[in-house]
Structure 1
């Protein structure tokens, strides 16, 4: 606890020191951390436009949903509001690190392997949470007021509630993440899987507890049951009764399995319904705020022409064009760490929509094989899907990289047979170090061209894909080994008698 507390203090002091020396003006123009979607300056401009009565979506700068305008309408140039913002973003990073600590600790407690528990129970949660909290990329994202920190917080909260088998809160927080960005909606499948698995484990634990309390009553009746079984075996007439009982037991077991399947289907239906219900409520609230110009929603609801204003043609969910359509269609092609800006500038206009559709559809197609293979490991499946989403994101940042690392390391037993660890670490160091110099050579100095930045961003995304492939390979090896061990335990021993007889005959001779 002392080590964890000291690391938390160190992370807070580092963030306060960066704010004190006012390094936001240096890093606020860095393309590695600021994108058209995560920029806080664009949000301040939209709040300023809203205060003067003009639409915040009039230009092409602001692309967040309307609730964030209502949350940050108090932001001014005063020192109090600045320190309030800084405290909010420091708290977001702190909560994220604590959630990572709690999730990893819970996964280690659920593991049956004692060797892994003894190794990683004390070291791993503190190490990974400190890697996230003390990482320079997360510190710079906190310094720049990156709006992507909110989506990371929502994803981690949904995982934590899913690990505690709370389906309502996990779907609500995931709906908040899907409200800010569309792509986290794909995480609903692993979240529901995690909730179902945790509930089944809790049910098994309750059954085990009830059986353990009823042990002494069973011990008394053991001798009587043995005597009855002996009598039944001797008498041929009672064998028929046994067969009938066995048939009844099989029928009862089949009914129980059907009931379990029906309960699982109900949980799936209920989880999907809750997710889309929360998402719809958030969209309706944002529509109300957009119609009322973010002032008073109560006065708007008391108006007798409320439904006419809500479903008017002029203001019928027009913010969706500037938020979700902007993310999916990738209209802004400013240079960033991703690959879409270069590919879409080089392609012909005729093939642009086809390329955008294929690039966005890759994540949806990848859900099917991943869920079929890793459905018994929902937390690992969630890490794979989030990593594929971030790699193929239209506007990625460097702050997504430590978040992905923490998600992939949450289950250490699936990472026992990973290779080339030092190679990947050195490769990422070189690639990240060359991002800003190549951008400066092209944009500021004018001595290079776009291929410099595209080449280094391509190598960065290629390194991320290699890491993901290596992690999946090691997980598949570990899972197949576990299945083979289970088969060996369940299989009966097979003895061969003839070779032993031959050996004995030779010895006798």
Structure 2
């Protein structure tokens, strides 16, 4: 990267390191959840170092191999742990920058091959050579200086590692490196369950490289399954117990901790009658994973990276323990579709949703928990509005992509009886 970009990366790192001094950030429910809490990681490290199975209780929910790795790192650089989190987050930003460069380059090649299919006067909708510089820079800035990613890193949450693994997965996906892509995806799936859905864009990309798409898809799925089994076996070898499965995947799926967060699960399951819990649990988990997978995969089969972005956004909205760090990752990918922004109709509405709800969450939490002048309905109202804003954003992006694709091939103008009738979305 050029010197100016390196300076931006350095500034992003310094900002993160400075914000770490505000220890209250890591205690906010919008930032820290039972899955990504730094305090729970510390507890797991303490239990492991003292020869106690960290998964006997209901506190630690990190994979054993990650926990052991953190034990080694914390033991070697105990005074520089915040710096380690900052460096991982900066690596994530760099990977997204490289990913964006590869994406724009591939789009230019693809566009050149399809140039004859485009209508006259649609140059503004086509990817330009200038985007080779603009789009990667926007992606980098969108991750480095997004307040949500800054808070997530400053709070020393495990979401920093999740974003890094997701960035690696997408980077290897764009580079067409099957084995490292599948390994990174399998590791993140075993940590957080919901990235399982990203196997769809992986299959769409790598199945096309084989002579038979069906055989290729089966091969990718088999490799992914083998990677998950290998990671499971490796975790067992570390602690010689299967208790980690229930403490990680089981804890996420069965949603045993009702601590409030920015998601939709906590309020419903707090108010739920126990005999309805299983039905709604399955319904909510299906909504977060498989419900949208097939229709989106069919519609976006030619745009695997857009499919991956939408699936990451949906699992950030509907997962059981979401945090602002999950949201920051897919927001950083939105500049990749800069040429679709012309058709996005709800930008201002979504921006207002984000600003208002994120501003109100701390205030309503204070009124509910400390002042006693509000109740759970107030705080849940803001989290529900925040999720609604995200859904508006995802659907707006999907519609914008469809409109852009249509206009590229049919033109920006509609003609009736040879006369121009209307310009679509001026």
TM-score, length of structure 1 as denominator length: 0.74
Query: Aligned in 2, Cα 1:142/1:82: closer, same or farther, shift over 3 Å?
Result: farther
Any stretches of 5+ residues in structure 1 without a counterpart?
Answer: 200-259, 292-314, 486-509
Q: CA deviation at 1:50?
A: 2.2
Q: 2:316 aligns with which of 390, 397, 402?
A: 390
Aligned partner of 2:360 in structure 1 is 434
Aligned partner of 2:194 in structure 1 is 183
Aligned partner of 2:79 in structure 1 is 82
Aligned partner of 2:116 in structure 1 is none
Distance in 1 (alpha carbons) for counterparts of 2:17 and 2:387: 32
Query: Aligned in 2, Cα 1:9/1:53: closer, same or farther, shift over 3 Å?
Result: closer
Distance in 1 (alpha carbons) for counterparts of 2:232 and 2:85: 25
1:38 aligns with 2:16: no
Deviations 1:302-357 (CA, angstroms, capped at 9, x unpaired): xxxxxxxxxxxxx4x22211111110010100111111110011111000110010
Distance in 2 (alpha carbons) for counterparts of 1:443 and 1:110: 51
Q: CA deviation at 1:45?
A: 1.0
1:163 aligns with 2:174: yes
Query: Aligned in 2, Cα 1:76/1:174: closer, same or farther, shift over 3 Å?
Result: closer
1:149 aligns with 2:160: yes
Is residue 47–residue 53 contact of structure 2 (8 Å, CA) maintained in 1? Answer: yes
Query: Aligned in 2, Cα 1:268/1:414: closer, same or farther, shift over 3 Å?
Result: farther
Aligned partner of 1:474 in structure 2 is 400
Is residue 103–residue 410 contact of structure 1 (8 Å, CA) maintained in 2? Answer: no
Distance in 1 (alpha carbons) for counterparts of 2:355 and 2:306: 25
1:193 aligns with 2:207: no
1:266 aligns with 2:215: yes
Q: 1:325 aligns with which of 250, 259, 263?
A: 250
Aligned partner of 2:63 in structure 1 is 65
Aligned partner of 2:224 in structure 1 is 275
Q: 1:135 aligns with which of 142, 146, 156?
A: 146
Counterparts of 1:474-493 in structure 2, within 5 Å, are: 474-482=400-408, 484=410
Name the SS for the 1:154 alignment partner. helix
Distance in 2 (alpha carbons) for counterparts of 1:477 and 1:15: 38
Q: 1:465 aligns with which of 391, 396, 418?
A: 391
Deviations 1:411-449 (CA, angstroms, capped at 9, x unpaired): 333443111322321221111100111011001111111
Distance in 2 (alpha carbons) for counterparts of 1:355 and 1:139: 34
Is residue 384–residue 408 contact of structure 1 (8 Å, CA) maintained in 2? Answer: no
Aligned partner of 2:45 in structure 1 is 47
Is residue 142–residue 331 contact of structure 2 (8 Å, CA) maintained in 1? Answer: no
- Range moving further from structure 2, 120-129 or 110-119: 110-119
Name the SS for the 2:256 alignment partner. coil
Aligned partner of 2:276 in structure 1 is 351
- Range moving further from structure 2, 375-384 or 8-17: 8-17
- Which protein shows a greater Rg? 1
Distance in 1 (alpha carbons) for counterparts of 2:372 and 2:89: 37
Name the SS for the 2:324 alignment partner. coil
Name the SS for the 1:276 alignment partner. helix
Counterparts of 1:270-349 in structure 2, within 5 Å, are: 270-291=219-240, 315=241, 317-349=242-274
Distance in 2 (alpha carbons) for counterparts of 1:150 and 1:76: 15
Is residue 97–residue 129 contact of structure 1 (8 Å, CA) maintained in 2? Answer: yes
1:124 aligns with 2:135: yes
Q: CA deviation at 1:77?
A: 8.8
Is residue 56–residue 243 contact of structure 2 (8 Å, CA) maintained in 1? Answer: no
Distance in 2 (alpha carbons) for counterparts of 1:194 and 1:481: 25
> How many matched pairs?
394
Is residue 206–residue 220 contact of structure 2 (8 Å, CA) maintained in 1? Answer: no
Q: 1:424 aligns with which of 339, 346, 350?
A: 350
Distance in 2 (alpha carbons) for counterparts of 1:420 and 1:341: 28
Is residue 353–residue 385 contact of structure 2 (8 Å, CA) maintained in 1? Answer: no
Is residue 165–residue 196 contact of structure 1 (8 Å, CA) maintained in 2? Answer: no
Aligned partner of 2:119 in structure 1 is none
Is residue 309–residue 333 contact of structure 2 (8 Å, CA) maintained in 1? Answer: yes
